[in-house]
Structure 1
């Protein structure tokens, strides 16, 4: 068999059921081998940035490793932002890029380049094949490495001529079963029993490992307060639970002010704290005793010293701790619903966030990439179902549109709503074309304030609240006509005229025949970020 045909068989055997790609000349042997492979459809993206984000979203929705095919140096470079996001969010991807024909690489042909060098900083491992017979084994290793905690993208470069060579046999795969961790929990249980004011910081290791229910049992047994990890990527604890006290703001000084209220803090599935801007003092003070759980041994105790560190799948570890406290349980008073502001015309960010949250239909998945309005949105969300919230802590803008398309492809049974800042959406706009092509029932909500609001807020804070003029932070004029842009890419659009209108439009998510873009005109910058966000 030709190597390209063997690659298709390896993908099938690894459980891949969709290829995400943007082909060029070096990918022709592989895409030609997909002809007739009905169980392995090809999802075409017109730009590699949102394409890799689609694979990211699909992996989150299906809980399987996604496969992406990129084109030589330029395609790899365009896909780097998606790979970086996936690595920081621990999303398993196998990325294969076609290299130029190896027989003339010495001539430095057009489009060739150091693909491994480009990709290395944005993935767990990167390598280039030298012989055709090595590629199937390299792919097996890539799938294993991508799915081994801490998960992330793995990159393989394959020269075009190798794909045309004949190879013999398909190497067997390795079955990965996340077994129960063999841990001595006695010290952790003792530390939690000694706590007078316990707190748990819920990180994404909880959501990734299916540990939300175990976290709830442990919290209710301990009577603990729960905080969301700064800029958490997914639902790690029910946002409507009375023990939930909101997300920690990614600033050391403000985290310290919260954690100083507690004597014992359990960090469950997060890399301690990753601040956005510098501030003093450190996030953890000398009076706080830390217990940390993570799947990655390099993470435990990496930034702040821990009294007890447990390495293993976070969900099973939490289940073990909950079992030790199963005889006790605390009652929590219900949380009253937050009042919703009613506005017409250009909405305030807080009112727009509340209207979107109020309109989310039952069972919806919210994909969030809105830098400033997204913080206010998190305050209003009352999601409780695992998998119902997705975000990337990677920081590479343009992820949201593609990720929402990938989630919708992976979970066609659930309505998908993407909350997007207009600045973020401009980086991944091409993903709308794929949404239209695939007919995904995805609702894209663009908060259009016509500016980089977060930069204005940050600079004003740096200048002591005195900044009034800004350079390079406005997207108007000219005004971006979002409904025109989306229509040009095959996605109908509508402008939300009020909070009630926005709530009603979002409430219809998943009930249409395809994607919809909702433009929400939002008031421009009016001063520093509110203290609550």
Structure 2
């Protein structure tokens, strides 16, 4: 079997049915071979950032590694932002990047470069294949490593001439891997500490949702009667948003996290990557005296940024079920605690709902009203793909989603991910409506993804929260200076003039668009996406600084 034939055989065997890419000369052997491979759909993106974002959304929705094809050093460089997001979000990707012909690499030809060096910091592994006989085993290793916890992207650099060789290579069989490993030892001791708590708290990390362990965590929280928070800027649903014990997301600042956790005596931290603060504040995230039980599938997370009393490494679902069994009937006050917490969360939610509804009105809308309109209009079982920095925080305050996979975010921070990720999400799970909530600044970083949505008629609603500025930068600057929102001029933080014309942008890429003239119109537009058969851009003008 020739190398190019081996590549196609392996990706088929690994469950790949779609290749996300943007081709160049080094991909010509692959593109030529795909003519005779109708079972492998090539999903074209116009820029590598959008390509990797589509693969990211697809991998999360389909729950298996996605396959990406990039072109030489420039393509890898463009795709780095997506790799960084995938690495932080633990998304399994296998990326094959075409390298220049080995026969003249010594001459430093155009388009060549150190692909491994470029990608190493944004992947679990980057490796270049030098011999055709090694390609099959390297690809098998790449798929296994991408999926192994903690999951992430793996890049394989393949010289163009290697794929063209008329050499017989052997394809190793796929090695079946059993399901999740055993539950962690030590559940009895950890449960004893948790049961002794008077004010327990649970922090649900994104590994909970990724591993399908949400219900197991719910059982633990209910048997403790514990307040539950999502980790800062959570990527998905790790605890039901409508549950009475759920108190929202921890803000990504150590000082606020420390203040919040200071009200508790014992914390259970599950599947959380070390809190990952955003803006710097002095001091640690964990207050003195807080006893911690940490559970994770990745041993490197245990005690990474704070000391723990009990660190449990193993299958999250199995470990949480063991904890729940140990806690069954051991906390007589759990029901009373739960009722008290539920009353607080109900009041907090009612206040957020009331404030958002009171802010309803014509465009430009209050961001709270726009966020509420999106949440209120969501069709049943819809997936929200969110990349809206400030409007996204308002959305989190009113969104009540319970099903894992219903909310998708990128904690990596590389902007331009949202449009492509939404396309990939709908391709990976075509039975669920997808609504992408995008900041106008974020959307401009990944605008090319709209072309792919239109090209493949992917029925996604792209809601662009348009405030004509980098609102998060102004907020951060105001906070750092202790100034009011009217303190003066900002440099490099405004997107108008000229104003971004989102209706024209949609038309450039061949899709329909509408402008919501009020919060009520926005709610109705979002509600209609259940019937979409093609992509739609919905512009939601919102108020910004000084408006």
Report TM bin, short chain. over 0.9
Q: Partner of 1:234 in structure 2?
A: 236
Query: Which deviates further from its counterpart, 353-362 or 163-172?
Result: 163-172
For residue 510 of structure 2, what is the aligned residue in structure 1?
490
Higher helix share: 2
Aligned to 2:115: 115
Find the counterpart in structure 2 of residue 124 from structure 1.
Answer: 124
Q: How many Å separate the matches in 2 of 1:277 and 1:325?
A: 37
Residue 293 of structure 1 and its aligned partner are, at CA, apart by 1.1
Secondary structure of the residue aligned to 2:529 is: coil
Q: Which residue number corresponds to residue 493 of structure 2?
A: 473
Residues 93-134 of structure 1 show CA distances to partners (whole Å, capped at 9, x for unaligned) of: 000000010011011111011111100110000011111110
**2:316 paired residue among 314, 317, 341:** 314
Check conservation: 2:204, 2:269, Cα contact below 8 A.
yes
Aligned match for 1:510, one of 530, 536, 543: 530
CA distance in 1, matches of 2:60, 2:538: 24
Q: Give 1:56 deviation, angstroms.
A: 0.4
**Aligned position for 2:211:** 209
Quick check: 2:187–2:326 contact (8 Å CA) kept in 1? no
Aligned pair partner of 1:434 in 441, 452, 455 = 452
Tell me the residue number matched to 2:2: 2
Structure 1 residues not aligned, in runs of 5+ = 528-533
The CA distance in 2 between the partners of 1:168 and 1:134, in whole Å, is: 8
- 1:355 counterpart = 2:356: no
Matches within 5 A, 1:344-423: 344-423=362-441
Structure 2 stretches of 5 or more lacking a match?
none
3-state DSSP class of the match of 1:509? helix
Aligned partner of 2:50 in structure 1 is 50
- Alpha-carbon distance between aligned partners in 1 of 2:10 and 2:118, rounded to the nearest angstrom: 25
Distance 2:405 2:288 in 1: 35
- Alpha-carbon displacement from aligned partner over 1:241-263 (angstroms, at most 9, x marks no partner): 11001111111111111100000
8 A contact 1:5–1:30 mirrored in 2: no
Establish whether residue 173 from structure 1 lines up as the match of residue 174 from structure 2. yes
**1:519 aligned to 2:547?**
no
How far is the alpha carbon of 1:526 from its aligned partner?
A: 4.3
Q: CA deviation at 1:179?
A: 2.7
Which is worse superposed, 167-176 or 133-142? 167-176
Aligned CA RMSD, in angstroms, stands at 1.4
* Counterparts of 1:36 and 1:353, CA distance in 2: 47
Instruction: Give the match's secondary structure for 2:373.
Output: helix
Q: Distance in 2 between matches of 1:320 and 1:400?
A: 37
Q: CA deviation at 1:325?
A: 2.3
Correspondence for 1:35: 35
Q: 2:187 matched to which residue of 1?
A: 185
4+ long deviations beyond 6 Å:
none
Q: CA deviation at 1:324?
A: 1.9
- Distance of 1:138 and 1:320 partners within structure 2: 38
CA distance in 2, matches of 1:266, 1:495: 45
Q: TM-score, normalised on structure 2? A: 0.94
In structure 1, how many angstroms separate the alpha carbons of the residues matched to 2:122 and 2:152? 9
Q: Does 1:85 align with 2:105?
A: no
| Equivalent residue for 2:481, pick from 460, 463, 473 | 463
TM-score normalized with structure 1 length: 0.97
User: 1:97-112 residue pairs with structure 2 within 5 A?
Assistant: 97-112=97-112
Cα distance in 1 for partners of 2:423, 2:81 equals 17
CA distance in 1, matches of 2:97, 2:80: 12
1:412-467 per-position Cα deviation (integer Å, ceiling 9, x unaligned)? 00000001000000000000111111111100000000000000011111111154
